[in-house]
Structure 1
Amino acid sequence: MPLLRKPRIATRSVRDIALPGALARQSCRSRSFSNHNRPSPKYPHHVPLGFFEKKFLAVGSAVGALLNPRRADLIATLGEVTVTPYFIYRLRNAMLQDPTGRKILRDRPRITSETLQLHYLRSLPENSVGRTYAGWLDREGVSPDTRDHVQYIDDPECAYVMQRYRECHDFYHAVTGLPTFVEGELALKAFEFLNTLIPMTGLSMFASVRLKAAERERLFSLYLPWAVRSGLSSKELINVYWEKVLEKDVDELRAELGIEKPPDMREIRQMIKMQKKREKERLEGKSA
């Protein structure tokens, strides 16, 4: 169970393990610097920040994301500035301790519409992982190319781990069937928190105050218990090499990962909408 594992700080990167005797990379902790002594970026899109700059961004992005939960850029920023130093260590450590995780760190694959070739995924069997993923993208009207680049994590390997989590997020949506509107995102974030311990995923639950009463009651009575069950029992999703399991049956993969499929949120909302419509028609018929 990911939540109950005792964190252990890795002192070597996967490249150090693969190449014995190589110099160890710098730790994920940011070194101290002032505005007059700002270090150079360590990878494309990297923006080195000081301690207080990160705290300011954390507060600002948290408030902004609460006011507008659809601001993906603010949610991404909040995730990056709150994940260091401990939590990104824990997630990288989980990858270093797993054979598949180490391979992902060595290969550093990216998830885009080009690397996945969506036309191929749409041609796969109906219940395959790839077809399920492509179908979910089409249904929700989203693209794998919209994920922001990691900017505020100093260590390049740790930055890749965060990028990998971010780009795999839609696969989590696809295998659970949860949609992209706020209620679905919060249900998935609760699951992700228990699986990854990334603080931003837990902090996102504060956005539940913006839900309608019926949505909030459904989230806490139906989807939060699901998130707890699946989040505590599932394997580390960061170690799934999604590109290698696209042809696998999605039900088999859920069983292997220990993920219970939640009730269809879109179907429930549609059913409630139809019930309200019929009730309205009934009342109008009585008054006529």
Structure 2
Amino acid sequence: MTFQRLSFLGRSILTIGASIMALENPSRADLVATVGELTGEEALKRLRSRLLSSSQGKEILKRRPRIEETSICREKLKRLEPQTFGYRYEEFLTFHRFSPSERPLVRFIEDEELAYIMQRYREVHDFWHVLLEIPPTVQGEVILKWFEGFHTRLPFCFLAGCSGPFLLSLKQQVKLVQQDIPWAFHTATSCVDLLAVEYEKLLVEDLSQVQTQLGLVAYPSL
């Protein structure tokens, strides 16, 4: 992670500009990521306090593990039983042609610990897709952003959750308000702290068992 120092004026201009452009084009992940870094400091401090309140969270902050191609042996995941979390994760990556190493590095957060928490959040995103059984479609990403917003309180999650529906049909928008957001709120506020989970140790377990262990309920249907 390489920190890029900006003046107060520079940060303000970049935040406003990126926010406007992200609202106009919610599919621009780079813009959403930039807004996330520039607006998320207070939420990240709260997340750090939450992590420090558990032994597992403290260990993660101490070791700062990364989720990358070099740290996840995908060949081993392919040989797991089909019902395991690891197999389903590898299946998800392969089907959608994703890579664990695709997540951009944090650039605008000076505090190294807070920068790592933001990086960790980005890198476990695909784990949450698998655990919640939400596909990475536009509709799925909007639902997941609401879940992430309620769970992390990162402002840009709510920004994406509010701007993304403009890309959905009217029927999908109605369902989002009536069913999806309430589901996201209930699930995000009743599960364990998902940033304090060492997912790497759970890959060999059955997906259903991991969901139960973490207090997660798969999204009803898409």
- What range describes the TM-score normalised by the shorter chain of this pair? over 0.9
Is 1:145 the counterpart of 2:101? The answer is yes
Using the TM superposition, give the Cα deviation of residue 263 of structure 1 relative to its aligned residue in structure 2, in angstroms: 2.2
Looking at structure 2, the residues matched to 141 and 55 of structure 1 have their Cα atoms a distance apart, in angstroms, of: 36
Task: Find out whether 1:249 has 2:206 as its counterpart.
Answer: yes
Instruction: Give yes or no for the alignment of 1:262 onto 2:196.
Output: no
Structure 1 CA distance for aligned equivalents of residues 72 and 30 of structure 2: 24
Q: Which runs of 5+ in 1 are unaligned?
A: 1-43, 266-288
- 2 CA distance for matches of 1:119 and 1:214? 41
Q: Secondary structure at the match of 1:115?
A: coil
SS at the partner of 1:178? coil
Higher radius of gyration, 1 or 2: 1
The superposition leaves residues 116-171 of structure 1 with CA deviations (integer Å, 9 ceiling, x where unpaired) of 01111121111211111111112222221210000000111111111011101110
**Aligned position for 1:204:** 160
The match for 1:110 is 66
Amino acid at match of 2:128: Y
1:132·1:175 contact (CA, 8 Å) conserved in 2? no
TM-score w.r.t. length of structure 2: 0.94
CA contact 1:136–1:174 (8 Å) conserved in 2: yes
Task: Determine helix, strand or coil for the equivalent of 2:80.
Answer: coil
Aligned length: 221
Quote how far apart the aligned CAs of 1:71 are.
1.1
Q: What residue number does 1:193 align with?
A: 149
Contact persistence 1:226–1:260 (CA under 8 A): no
Shift of 1:50: 2.4
Distance in 1, matches of 2:181 and 2:14, equals 29
2:138 matches 1:182: yes
The alignment status of 1:93 with 2:53, answered yes or no, reads no
C-alpha distance in structure 1 between counterparts of 2:189 and 2:140, whole Å: 19
Aligned match for 2:36, one of 70, 79, 82 = 79
Q: Which residue of 2 aligns with 1:217?
A: 174
CA positional deviation for 1:210 = 2.7
Say which of 66, 73, 82 aligns to 1:126.
Answer: 82
Q: 2:91 is matched with which residue?
A: 135
Aligned to 1:164: 120
| TM-score w.r.t. length of structure 1 | 0.74
- 2:190 alignment partner, one of 220, 228, 233: 233
- Summarize deviations over 1:73-106 as a string: whole Å, max 9, x none: 111101100011x211101111111111111111
Deviation of 1:195 (Å): 0.9
1:70 matched to which residue of 2? Answer: 27
Structure 1 residue 242 displacement after superposition? 0.9
Which structure 2 residue ranges, 5 or more long, are not aligned? none
- CA-based RMSD of the aligned residues comes to 1.3
**1:195·1:235 contact (CA, 8 Å) conserved in 2?**
no
Identity of aligned residues (%): 35
Equivalents in 2 of 1:141, 1:216: separation in Å? 28
Mapped partners of 1:214, 1:144: distance in 2: 33
Cα distance in 2 for partners of 1:248, 1:51 equals: 47
Is 2:9 the counterpart of 1:57? Answer: no
Distance 1:64 1:141 in 2: 27
2:153 and 2:200 mapped to 1: Cα distance? 24
